[in-house]
Copies of this chain bind each other. A is one copy, B any other.
Amino acid sequence: MKKKITLKQIARELDVSISTVSKALRNSIEISEDTREKVQAFAKLYNYRPNNIALSLKNRKTKTIGVIIPEIVHHFFSKVIRGIEQVANKRGYNVIVGLSNESFDKEVINMQMLANGSIDGFILSISKETLLQQDYHHFKETISQGMPIVMFDRVVNEIECDKVIIDDLKGSKNAVSKLLSNGCKHVAIITTKDYVSVGKLRTQGYLEALEDYKMSPNSNLILKVDDELVSEDHLISLESEIEQLFLNNKKIDGVFAVNELYAIIGMKVARKRGLRIPDDIQFIGFTDGVLSKHATPSLTTVSQHGQEMGEKAAELLIEKLEHEDQEEQYQTVVIETELIERNSTK
């Protein structure tokens, strides 16, 4: 087992100073060609690589990006990570992930763990609990310490930083309009409670689409699911809530759901009730994941372009990191959504 070799060891071995070795390796003209070659050959032989930690300490840069997301077993978030990873690596950065598990405390702890010099900046999406409690002091503190943050998807106005979002309102309005223009007369929405910002916006898009079509909203057609429990029981209660929705509104002929899962479960319930998709009832979901693609029938859905969001977020962050001198100016990038038409709509 040959341990990692250091400058000091090379220096001792070759009977020169550490400075000389360092300079020789970086091809400084200060060092004679003779010595340079000797040192480089030796370094190559022993597979020398500069110690990253020492470099980080010296440069006060880690070349590492901290990513905090609420959940990783989730198609959208993993796509975002892939996007972040891709541009980060291309630009010489590493990515270190923390999961908040939708918990405020874990979000805070994770950020503290990373903020102490381990990373140069954050990319994150806010946990549901944080959104609910509306306690954003940890973000503010981090930013005030000079560490840049880029938020994506679940963002919040109170914090001033770069943001990457989609136009949730427009995306859902488009989707609902599609249902209406396809002839649906009784369009229901399955959404989340309002404290999830994206849920709220998507609900609003639904309402605006109805208005455009001169239809008045019917509160019976709006199902706001409590999204706090993500466990198995949740699935069951979700299903029965949706059943209730159908029971109360026999004429539903279109459903817009604010995520894949709600849509899939919705289709399941509809099928159980003997409705044919898309002939009797049409469905559109949000977030283009595996479920949408491989459901039967495949689900028409609003794609959020998660990977693109990740790429953009990483670009924004790195840009900020590498031009710290620039005056503070935050941008909010809006990624276009796209309606991917499949077989759950006509």
A-to-B contact residues, CB < 8 Å: 1-4, 47, 49-54, 56-57, 62, 64, 72-75, 78-79, 81-82, 85, 89, 94-99, 110, 112-118, 141, 144-146, 261, 264-265, 268, 271, 289-291, 294-296
Contact = CB atoms under 8 A, between A and B. Distances in A.
Given A78-B73, A264-B294, A3 B49 contact: no
Number of copies of this chain that the complex holds:
2
Contact of A57 (B2, B53, B265, B271): B53
A210 B299 CA distance: 38
B72 A82 contact: yes
Nearest to A4: B145
A312 to B, nearest CB: 17
Contact of A78 (B57, B78, B95, B113): B78
Contacts of A85: 72, 97-99
B52 A118 contact: yes
Contacts of A145: 1-4
A50 B265 CA distance: 49
A117 B53 contact: yes
B296 A294 contact: no
A49 B62 CA distance: 17
Contacts of A94: 96, 98, 113-114, 118
Nearest to A296: B296
Contact of A50 (B4, B79, B116): B116
Contacts of A50: 116
A206 to B, nearest CB: 23
30 contacts: A1-B145, A1-B146, A4-B146, A47-B141, A49-B112, A49-B116, A50-B116, A51-B117, A52-B116, A53-B62, A64-B96, A72-B78, A72-B81, A72-B85, A73-B79, A73-B82, A74-B78, A81-B97, A85-B98, A89-B98, A95-B98, A96-B96, A96-B97, A261-B294, A264-B294, A268-B296, A290-B290, A290-B291, A294-B295, A295-B295
A118 B53 contact: yes
